[in-house]
Amino acid sequence: MGARIAKSTSMPGRLSVVVHADAERLASAVAAFVAKEARRSIEAHGRFAVALAGGTTPKRAYELLSLPPLVTLVPWEGVHLFWTDERCVGSDDPRSNERMAREAFLDRVPIPPDQVHPMRCGAGGGQDGVEGGLTAEQAARRSADEYESLLRRLFAEADGVGAFGLPYAEGPAGAALDLVVLGLGADGHTASLFPGSQALTDGGRWAAPVFVRTAAADRAAGADAAGAGAAGEDLWRVTLTAPFINMAASVLFVVSGPAKAPIVTEVLEGPIDAGRLPAQLIRPRTGMVRWYLDEASAALLQREGEGATNP
Ligand code: 6PG
């Protein structure tokens, strides 16, 4: 069964929604899209700067990038890898988004190490290069500032030419990142932009520290609420901000499973309420937003005609 084009009503801007039959076909489509975007970007302007989501949904797609046929299609030497957000734990902690990416594909593809930019924000006492003796908050704030400086150096040097040699203002459609891959939490968060978070209003920043409190009810239930970390644990995180994500040439949301069907419908077809639904903040100035869903997560969307190909 080919993917079908769904209809989205309330989100303005250049947006398309493609629904894939199941989670495996969704993962295949995501991996193929990332590989194609990598080739296109590198052929067009010599680099592919991509920020990857954490969580669990995209892991299978990342695995497929490290397997034939895609692994030989991607010009890995031109890839510059960033993260959309990170939990402030050690990089070998099972909750780490960096660890998930390394296990899924990064340890098996030849991206030059100095082109891989993890957000190291654990307060591990010298671990991961984080200065020892910091509190969790100090480590998160230190890491967010360092990531901010990295992004400014690469995408917006004072003279208007980023270290990529591209006058970032004149880069592809004035873009910074070529692609941002995002997930969607059941509460409407994306990256670590959680409802009501101060990071939503850090207007001037490109990377921000954020403290994610596990809801008391979820703590009681032992649930890992909103991806905050281990069950019942509040956690510092570092996240790209919406203004920086909206400087991307292309954004791809990847959402799977029946548990996400209500929030997908609320974000795409409900009223705009970005403070409560931060995923609605993601509207690139000139870039395109694609939503790749599976039938389970798209189950409550209004249906439109069948589409033979993915845009
Ligand atoms: C994280 C992610 C986060 C994630 C959503 C969906 O650090 O948890 O970056 O934004 O994409 O919470 O997570 P799942 O894919 O696990 O449902």
Ligand 1 within 6 A of CB of 53: yes
Q: Which of 27-36, 175-184, 254-263 is predicted least confidently?
A: 175-184
- For 28, 60, 84, 103, 259, the CA distances from 2, given in Å and listed in that order, are 12, 20, 30, 30, 23
| Nearest ligand 1 atom to alpha carbon 86 | 7
Q: Is the pLDDT of residue 217 over 60?
A: no
* Enclosing H/E stretch for 133: none
Segment 231-259 shows an average pLDDT of 90
Distance from Cα 194 to the centre of ligand 1, integer Å = 11
Is a pLDDT exceeding 70 seen at residue 222? no
Q: What is the CA radius of gyration of the chain?
A: 18
C-beta atoms surrounding 28 within 10 Å: 15
Averaged pLDDT, 48-74 = 97
Q: Is the pTM of this model over 0.75?
A: yes
pLDDT digits (tens, 9 = 90+) for 158-212: 445 555 544 444 444 457 899 999 999 999 999 999 998 877 776 689 999 999 9
Q: Is the pLDDT of residue 299 over 90?
A: yes
**Six-digit token pair at 119?**
């957000």
* Ligand 1 lined by 229 (C-beta under 6 Å): no
Residue type, 11: M
Q: Where are the beta strands (DSSP E) in 116-176?
A: 116-117
Which residues touch 145 (CB under 8 Å, ≥6 apart)?
A: none
Residues 83-107 have pLDDT tens digits of: 999 999 989 999 999 999 999 999 9
Q: Which atom of ligand 1 is nearest to the CA of 182?
A: 11
SS3 117: strand
116-175 pLDDT, tens digit per residue, is: 999 999 876 444 555 667 889 999 999 999 999 999 888 875 445 555 544 444 444 457
pLDDT at 28: 98
Q: Residue 178: CB partners within 8 Å, gap ≥ 6?
A: 37, 41, 47, 48, 49, 50, 172, 248, 249, 250
The upper half-sphere exposure of residue 233, i.e. CA atoms within 13 Å in the direction of its Cβ, equals 13
Q: Specify the pLDDT at position 134.
A: 86
Contact indicator for 98, 62 with CB cutoff of 8 Å: no
Task: Please give the residue that has the higher pLDDT: either 14 or 279.
Answer: 279
Ligand 1 mutation pick, 84, 95, 182, 184, max ligand atoms within 8 A of CB: 184
C-beta 191 within 6 A of ligand 1: yes
Q: What per-residue confidence (pLDDT) applies to 268? A: 95
